[in-house]
Amino acid sequence: MSARRTALVLGGGGITGIAWEIGVVAGLAEAGVDLTSADLVVGTSAGSVVGALLTTGADVESLHARQLEPVGPHERAARLGRGTLARYGLAMLLARRDDVAFRRRIGELARTAADTGRTPSEEERRAAIEGRLAGAQWPDRPLVVTAVDTGSGEFTPFTRDSGVDLATAVGASCAVPGVYPPVTIGDRRYMDGGMRSTANADLAAEYERIVVIAPLPRGAGLMASVDAQVTGLVSRVAVVAPDEASRAAIGKNVLDPAARAPSARAGRTQAAGVAARVAEVWQG
């Protein structure tokens, strides 16, 4: 068996994205397609949480059941407000098609929002991430967690060899600019890996068989879409994105915990309809 045979790519998509991805993975497992056996897992933002859990031995059915639990009293909906979205758009215009310059501008936005108290503290977010990971540490097998340096705009993939603990790497990958604070690592601050691409599927380009589960597959502006990154690959690729029913369950705010359970159920239901296509790629 090739050492570079299968790769699972898990994209960004907020709280609902975590739930929907877990639902899809659970539904596929029920249909006989075990994605947890991937030789490589790439996780971006929401996908970094799911990837960390899947590669550290979490039981898929237990993960799915957790998504169906009632929203806790301390879980509050966050939101990408119109002002923040307008700043994203302005950053795209000012960057003049330079993706690194765009990410630098977004990084400045992220730092300013955190430094002026418009986001939770790093400590609060750390506690939330640790709660989701339930003590998980870097796995022995390949896991890549994506982030972006807010100062340089450079894309930064973290692995177990990066000298950063898993909760810190996942926290950085989930740090939506303007909503959550960048994560400080040494003298640098890092934000959501989705600022480069919604899934960063190109990191799996050397693998023979790739399954991409992408709650937000299209990207926007200078953030590459999944299709743009997988088009032209010699690998066999299956992309799973939300169908109409899943989009309805997810709703308009991907950071709303109230939509978590419907998203998980919709992902599991959708999996039955895509299982044959995914199995053809994954199992040959």
Distances in Å between the Cα of 162 and the Cα atoms of 28, 44, 75, 178 are 32, 16, 31, 26
Quickly tell me which residue has 């639990």 as its tokens: 69
34 catalytically annotated:
no
Give the integer Cα–Cα distance in Å for 150 and 142: 25
Residue tagged active-site, from 39, 99, 149, 192:
192
CA distances from 280 to 32, 57, 200 (A): 12, 25, 23
Instruction: Name the strand (E) or helix (H) holding 105.
Output: helix 99-115
Evaluate the CA torsion angle 209, 214, 217, 223 in order and state its sign: negative
C-alpha 183/C-alpha 169 separation (Å) is 8
**37 tagged catalytic:** no
Provide the annotated active-site residues: 45, 192
